[in-house]
């Protein structure tokens, strides 16, 4: 067997009904990390009712109403992310470290009067890193009799030679990119299993022969390169398209199922992924102080998203060290979005330090562009083939709209004199309400339905405390718990005409975040330092495919790879109140 890298290069235009997005991307774009000023992070972000920090305009806009002076700050951080993947007793580690510019913000406070109902009107701006997508992972091992090729074959079911012979298969709206790559790379071919037994037997008895121009179409051509037909009267194979005045059916048109070159013991040589990018958030705020008892705020948020993902999937489809293929996928999603946040803080009792905070965030309305391409290198071919070409599905740009869930936030704040501040916060988002739309506003029904099938409501709890050892020096601690956004058994289901070629997916579990902080306050200058430890587990699957059992469809994959993400981050904030 010779190694072959068959060559096709295609430049694609946007297709109205093409599918490129998944709920797994949308979850990342709807989720925000605990980030901002070091004081905010050190208290676990539980400052929605306490207010008085620039970062609160992103959670409860009314928090800026607490200010009675101007404030400006900027923050930097160093983060270290480690990934540990365990599969069939083997452990695979990856890591990534980097410096970050996390936050810059300013608040301008305007005093209206001491006796008026409206005491202060404050304006604020804050930039911060809402989420980072930096993550590396790799693994390998026995696939337990499963193969990614089974998913490719399932997505190819029902395609006929007319699809393959139509030309420009990568921009044919009926053909997914995995199917096109699998076909051109000799990974899938039609099966005779869907033909009547007697017809299949005739083919098996060499009554047809291979078409050398269409690898795998066993019964396409017969004697003198004539196509086979099934006589609709006798049920026999014939070279005639008409019998007794009735049109016959080409034998290959009865193919509904595709088989693959996978053997009995596929082996994953290597899976590797590299993700990068982030979600930048720009908040513009106005807040009001009413009688020093009620604080109201509005924040308009603008978002700049850039997400990159490279995956390499390398499989020995015919056993370890046997023939196989390598699939590389390149994806970039970029664009912008906007949301609106309303908040209130109330002191229900005049002489009590208790504060109650309420906030609601609209969905983020994204307009995004997904650019994708793929490269397949295949080792499968007849021995007579000895060419080395390049198989590449060309870049495709696909524009769409994404609407994240509404966010509901309630918080409590309590102070003991001027030395102790306590905060607690609860937030809820229903991720199953994520919606996808084409660029013209028409619903993307498949993807939106997948949100309902795979996702669920997410509960977030934030707790924080600050203790002033002396008026100038503070100690802080915080904790966050965010539940999983995925339903049990969630899978990455791809439509048959999807241009996605990365079949892997990861079901994230609950996320725990622990924080510590210290702070110094001078007459004008202040400095804060915080440490954050984020820990989250996940189940990783390289692919999933369907098997029919009577009227029931089962989804099958190798055993889950147990993944643990740990991220340590040190943040420094420098600021001035004036």
Of 528, 500, 502, 504, the closest CA to residue 515 belongs to 528
Instruction: Break the chain into its structural domains and give their ranges.
Output: 8-147+261-474+489-507, 192-255
Residues ≥6 apart with Cβ < 8 Å to 466: 39, 42, 43, 420, 421, 474, 475, 476, 519
Buried b (16+ CB within 10 A) or exposed e, 480-519: bebbbbbeeebbbbbbbbbbbbbbbbbbbbebebebbbbb
Give the pairing of strands 473-482 and 71-87.
unpaired
- Taking a C-beta distance cutoff of 8 angstroms, is the pair 536, 557 a contact? no
What whole-number distance in Å separates Cα of residue 281 and Cα of residue 492? 28
> The dihedral of CA 190, 267, 309, 281: what is its sign?
positive
Secondary element (H or E) of residue 306: strand 294-316
What whole-number distance in Å separates Cα of residue 409 and Cα of residue 234? 71
Residue 375's pLDDT is 85
What whole-number distance in Å separates Cα of residue 156 and Cα of residue 177? 10
- Taking a C-beta distance cutoff of 8 angstroms, is the pair 74, 573 a contact? yes
What are the CA-CA distances from residue 46 to residues 53, 332, 358 (Å)?
11, 34, 13
CA within 13 Å, CB half, 85: 24
DSSP, residue by residue, 346-407:
E--STT---EEEEEEEPPPEEEEEEEEEEEEEE----TT------EEEEEEEEEEEEE---E
- Taking a C-beta distance cutoff of 8 angstroms, is the pair 20, 370 a contact? yes
Buried b (16+ CB within 10 A) or exposed e, 302-321: ebebebbbebbbbbbbbeee
| Helix and strand numbers, DSSP H then E, in the chain | 7, 28
What whole-number distance in Å separates Cα of residue 397 and Cα of residue 503? 19
Q: Which two tokens stand for residue 175?
A: 């053909």
User: Which residues is 329 bridged to in the sheet?
Assistant: 311, 374
Q: Where are the beta strands (DSSP E) in 492-551?
A: 505-521, 525-541, 545-549
Residue 237's pLDDT is 55
Give the pairing of strands 355-361 and 267-290.
unpaired
- pTM score: 0.83
> The dihedral of CA 204, 206, 207, 212: what is its sign?
positive
What whole-number distance in Å separates Cα of residue 296 and Cα of residue 197? 75
Secondary element (H or E) of residue 554: strand 552-556
What whole-number distance in Å separates Cα of residue 56 and Cα of residue 122? 13
Residue 233's pLDDT is 56
Residue 383's pLDDT is 35
Q: Centre a 10 Å sphere on the Cβ of residue 260 and count the other Cβ atoms it contains.
A: 23
Residue 269's pLDDT is 87
- Taking a C-beta distance cutoff of 8 angstroms, is the pair 433, 451 a contact? yes
DSSP state of 204: I
What are the CA-CA distances from residue 39 to residues 36, 73, 74, 474 (Å)?
8, 11, 12, 10
Give the pairing of strands 391-403 and 8-9.
parallel
What whole-number distance in Å separates Cα of residue 216 and Cα of residue 211? 8
- Taking a C-beta distance cutoff of 8 angstroms, is the pair 412, 423 a contact? yes
Residue 216's pLDDT is 34
Low-confidence ranges of the chain (pLDDT < 50): 1-17, 194, 203-223, 225, 254, 382-391, 393
DSSP, residue by residue, 247-295:
E-EEGGGG---EEES--SS-EEEEEEEEEEEEEEEEEEEEEEEETTTEE
Give the pairing of strands 118-132 and 90-111.
antiparallel
What whole-number distance in Å separates Cα of residue 532 and Cα of residue 215? 56
DSSP state of 435: E
> The dihedral of CA 38, 44, 48, 51: what is its sign?
negative
What are the CA-CA distances from residue 399 to residues 19, 330, 504 (Å)?
11, 17, 22
Residue 245's pLDDT is 56
Q: Taking the CA atoms of the chain, what radius of gyration do you get in angstroms?
A: 29
What whole-number distance in Å separates Cα of residue 309 and Cα of residue 332? 7
What whole-number distance in Å separates Cα of residue 166 and Cα of residue 538? 42
The phi and psi torsions of 242 (rounded to 5 degrees) equal -135, 135
Query: How many residues are there in the chain?
Result: 578
Q: What's the fold here for domain 8-147+261-474+489-507?
A: Porin (2.40.160)
């Amino acid at each position: 067997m010779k190694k072959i890298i068959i060559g096709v290069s295609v430049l694609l235009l946007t297709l109205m009904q093409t599918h490129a997005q998944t709920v797994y991307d949308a979850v990342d774009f709807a989720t925000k990390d605990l980030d901002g000023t070091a004081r905010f992070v050190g208290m676990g972000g539980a400052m929605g009712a306490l207010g008085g920090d620039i970062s609160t305009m992103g959670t409860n806009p009314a928090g800026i109403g607490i200010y009675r002076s101007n404030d400006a700050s900027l923050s930097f951080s160093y983060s270290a992310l480690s990934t540990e993947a365990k599969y069939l007793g083997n452990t695979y580690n990856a890591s990534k470290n980097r410096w970050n510019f996390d936050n810059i913000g300013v608040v301008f406070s305007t005093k209206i009067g001491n006796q008026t109902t409206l005491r202060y009107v404050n304006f604020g701006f804050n930039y911060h890193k809402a989420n980072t997508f930096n993550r590396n992972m790799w693994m390998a091992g026995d696939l337990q009799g499963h193969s990614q090729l089974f998913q490719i074959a399932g997505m190819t079911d029902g395609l006929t030679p007319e699809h393959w012979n139509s030309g420009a298969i990568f921009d044919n709206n009926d053909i997914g990119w995995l199917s096109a790559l699998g076909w051109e790379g000799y990974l899938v071919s039609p099966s005779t299993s869907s033909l009547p037994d007697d017809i299949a037997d005739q083919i098996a008895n060499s009554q047809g022969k291979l078409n050398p121009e269409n690898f795998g179409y066993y019964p396409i051509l017969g004697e003198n390169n004539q196509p086979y037909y099934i006589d609709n009267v006798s049920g026999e194979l014939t070279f005639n398209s008409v019998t007794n005045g009735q049109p016959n059916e080409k034998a290959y048109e009865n193919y509904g199922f595709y088989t693959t070159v996978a053997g009995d013991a596929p082996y994953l040589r290597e899976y590797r992924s590299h993700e990068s990018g982030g979600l930048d958030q720009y908040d513009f705020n106005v807040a009001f102080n009413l009688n020093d008892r009620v604080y109201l705020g509005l924040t308009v948020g603008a978002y700049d998203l850039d997400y990159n993902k490279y995956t390499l999937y390398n499989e020995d489809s015919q056993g370890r060290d046997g023939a196989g293929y390598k699939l590389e996928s390149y994806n970039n999603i970029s664009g912008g979005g906007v949301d609106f946040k309303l908040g209130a803080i109330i002191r229900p009792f005049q002489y009590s330090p208790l504060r109650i905070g309420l906030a609601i965030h609209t969905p983020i309305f994204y307009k995004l562009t997904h650019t994708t391409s793929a490269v397949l290198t295949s080792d499968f071919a007849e021995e007579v083939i000895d060419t080395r070409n390049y198989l590449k599905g060309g870049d495709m740009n696909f524009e769409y709209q994404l609407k994240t869930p509404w966010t509901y936030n309630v918080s409590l704040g309590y102070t003991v004199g001027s030395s102790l501040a306590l905060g607690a916060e609860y937030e809820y988002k229903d991720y199953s309400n994520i919606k996808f739309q084409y660029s013209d506003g028409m619903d993307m029904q498949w993807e939106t339905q997948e949100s309902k099938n795979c996702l669920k409501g997410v509960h977030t709890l934030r707790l924080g405390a600050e203790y002033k050892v002396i008026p100038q020096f503070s100690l802080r601690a915080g904790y966050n718990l965010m539940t999983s956004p995925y339903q049990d058994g969630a899978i990455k289901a791809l439509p048959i005409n999807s241009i996605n070629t990365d079949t892997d997916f990861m079901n994230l579990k609950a996320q725990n975040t622990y924080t510590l902080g210290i702070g110094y306050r001078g007459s004008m200058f202040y400095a804060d330092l915080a440490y954050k430890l984020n820990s989250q587990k996940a189940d990783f699957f390289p692919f999933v495919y369907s098997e029919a059992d009577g009227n029931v469809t089962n989804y099958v994959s190798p055993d889950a790879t147990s993944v643990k993400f740990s991220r340590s981050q040190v943040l420094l904030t420098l600021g001035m109140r004036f």
